[in-house]
Each structure stands twice: as C-alpha cells, then as structure tokens.
Amino acid sequence: MDTIGESPRSVVVVGAGVVGLSTAWFLQERGVAVTVVDRARVAAGASWGNAGWISPGLAIPLNEPAVLRYGVRALFDRQAPLHVPATPDPRLWAFLAKFAAHCTHRSWDRAVRANMPLNEECREAFDVLTANGVDAPTIEAPITAVFETAARAGVLRRELDRLAAAGQDVEYTTLGPAAVRQLLPQVSGRITAGVAVHGQRYADPGWFTESLARSVVRRGATIRHGFDVRSVHRHRHAFTVRSATDQSVSANAVVLATGAWLNRLGRTWGVTVPVRAGRGYSFTVPTDRPVPGPVYLPDIRVACTPYHGGLRVGGTMEFRGPDAPPDPARVEAIIASARPLLTGVRWEDRTGEWVGPRPVSADGRPLIGAAAEPGVYVAGGHGMWGLTHGPITGRLLAEQITTGKQPEALRVFAPTR
C-alpha cells in the first residue's frame, strides 16, 4: 500500500447512501480501489424515501431566520412542521442552541454563498453518472410552490430574489389562481397563488441510489452490508476499519459518509461541527389524476413528487435520535395539514410510510473534506439537500483525496471549522 499522504490506491467509504456512493464512484474514475461498508444496506438512511428533488434553485439553507419562529411554535404544537420532542437530552439542546445562534441573516447569507458552487455544478454531476452506467433517470420539471395567499407567495419570491442577488442562478414564474389550477388540477380552491421554479429535476431516490451502487460494484468495488463500524485505527501505511462483529477492512484512506451518525466516528478524528438527525417522514398515496410534476407547500413544509403512478408526500423536521422508532403522529400531522390544500388524493390508501434521518449541521453548511488526521475524510451534514448535492460532493471530495489539494469550493465546508 502507498504511504498515507500520497495519492491513495485504496479507500474505504463508510456509508452506502447517495453521498458515500457518489464519492466511491468518482474515486473509481480516478483509479482508486474502493470498498463501501454500511451498517445496514444501500440507501438505508435518508437516501431512500425522500422527495427525490434535484433542486439547486430551492436549496435554501435550513438556518433561515424564520426557522426560529417555527422552533418556538414546535415546543407547543405537535402539528408544527418543525418538531422538537420534549426530552431531557443535553446534547440535543446544545445543538439546537448552536443552530439557533446561526439562524441570522449573516450566517444564512454565508451558507447561501457557500452552496452556490455546489448548486451550479450539481446537475452536471448527475449527468456524468447517468451517462456512464447509472441507469436511473432524472426528470426535468419545474417545482411549483403553491400558497393560499399572494402575500405568502411573496415571501418565497423574496427569498429567491435574495438567492439571485447573492449570485445564484434562479428563474421562476409567478402564477395567479387560474394559472395554478391549469398547471396543477390537484390544488384545492384554497390555493390562490403559485411560484414555478424552473430548471429543476426529480428522481426516484431509492432507485437512483441502488443504481449508483450497482454501477460502483460493476466498476470493481465491494459493498459490505451489515458492517456496523465501531472504530477506525491508523497504522503506519493504512487504516483499518473494524465492525461491531469484529470484521475488518483496510485501505490507504477512509471516507466517513455516515449521515446522521457522523459524529459518532467523526469526533475521534477532530470533526468539530455537530450533526443531528432532522428526521423526515414520507408515504405514497394514489391520486385520481396524474400529477404533472413536483409540488411544494412551503407554509406547511410539505413536498410532493410523482411516484409510481401516485404521489410521494413528505414533510416535517423532527429532531429525534436517528434510530428512534417512527412516530405515527408525524404522518397524521402531514395529512392534516395537506388535505385541505389538495384534491383527488386518497389519503386513507397510503402505503410505504417511511422515516429517514437527514443529517443537519449546526451552521447550515455540510461537512466535506479532510478531518484533522491525514487520510481521514468526511462527507455529510447536507440536511435536506443530500440528493441534490450528493454527486457533486463526491466529485469534489474525490479530487481532494487523489490530488491532496482542497478545491476552492470546499474550503467553507471544512469538517474541522
């Protein structure tokens, strides 16, 4: 094996979600032998049941100042889009205090500027994958946000205008009542305004991640399921990754792409930014008519996507442990809030209820790059935008790992910041 510090010939990627597998794929493009290990299976975390949006135009950092208002409401209302269970968890409350401290215009603007290079290149990174063996399609479509009042639509337009003023490429169309109904027959009479954000895409996230895994394997990698990593040890010329059942695998370098479980291993290697699970729920419902494209209900934080002839409905941001059991009340809260706004949806016939732990960082920026120890790298903390930013994260991190040079776009995402 090469000595640590040289371009590695082999890498262990811990985590078989879209971020970890994208990193593995782009490492293979650069001639690196890869082994991927996962505590469960491919797409077992946040990569399976999310909305599937590839939406750089809506990759709005989570630490927007308005979140504080939702946070206060969440302490008293179990129907709130943001839910913080009343629990005596000092680490959770310390994280939330840090997160709240970053819910300022200054910190939000910094996160917006940091995300811009990822947003600019994310669709191209998907195109590279789908042109070279990943056989899951991405579908071009606007994402249409709908509102009960024109004033509420104006809030999103102002946010999009702020993104554009910061340099983000954003194109949108404002829709009146008739235009919204023509575009989306499913909206109820309570909807009077809309904003169609153009240049976006969507995909079946589970299919895409599984197809990405198959491509990685065809290109020579091994994926080991049920490999619950408990420790990473450095030796003179390599690292050994060891599981709870005393299995092991060694390589020149290690990438920690463990999503909401990132801090468990990351803190050993100097990762200073806390990451918590912001759990999202989803399910699939039949619809009387096909839905032409993704629908966003910003006021209740619900995302809807055409899926297997029906509609995948997802929402909430629940700060609870990543392995906690699902809370059926969160699904009921999504339905109660969305039912008055959509018609022709058979809510009682829902299937595929799912909860996934989206990895949320305290400052609204993901963690991508080298840890404190040479040879250990981190990719995670993307919040709601893991699918959108997963492939471009993998491409940029693979560049850093193989060249030893940090891409300029990754400087603000340093895991040791």
Percent of the chain at pLDDT above 70? Answer: 95
Within-domain flag for 51: yes
Overall domain count for the chain: 1
Q: What is residue 237's predicted lDDT score, i.e. its pLDDT? A: 83
CA–CA distance, 192 with 209 (Å, rounded to integer) = 37
Within-domain flag for 132: yes
Percent of the chain at pLDDT above 90? Answer: 86
At residue 2 the predicted structure's pLDDT band, cuts being 50, 70 and 90, is very low
The per-residue pLDDT of the chain, averaged, comes to 94
Within-domain flag for 30: yes
Q: What is residue 379's predicted lDDT score, i.e. its pLDDT? A: 98
Residue 204 CA: distances (Å) to CA of 160, 241, 251, 374, 381: 26, 31, 32, 36, 21
User: Mind listing the pLDDT tens digit for each residue in 328-384?
Assistant: 999 999 999 999 999 999 999 999 999 999 999 999 999 999 999 999 999 999 999
Side chain identity, residue 132: N
Within-domain flag for 207: yes
148: pLDDT strictly greater than 90: yes
User: Mind listing the pLDDT tens digit for each residue in 297-316?
Assistant: 999 999 999 999 999 999 99
Within-domain flag for 2: no
Within-domain flag for 393: yes
77: pLDDT strictly greater than 90: no
Query: Mean pLDDT highest for which of 62-76, 155-169, 400-414?
Result: 400-414
Average pLDDT over residues 207-217: 98
User: Mind listing the pLDDT tens digit for each residue in 80-111?
Assistant: 677 777 677 888 889 989 999 999 989 999 99
Q: What is residue 66's predicted lDDT score, i.e. its pLDDT? A: 76
Residue 284 CA: distances (Å) to CA of 132, 144, 227, 307: 30, 19, 30, 7
Q: What is residue 82's predicted lDDT score, i.e. its pLDDT? A: 73
Average pLDDT over residues 226-240: 95
CATH code where residue 366 lies: 3.50.50.60
Average pLDDT over residues 172-187: 96
- 114-139 burial string, b = 16+ CB within 10 Å, else e? bbbbbbebbbebbeebbeeebebebe
Q: Is residue 262 within 8 Å of residue 359, measured between CB atoms?
A: yes
Strand locations in 20-151 (E)? 33-37, 53-54, 82-83, 139-140, 143-147
Show the domain range for 39.
10-413
Within-domain flag for 321: yes
Within-domain flag for 259: yes
Give 326's DSSP letter. Answer: P
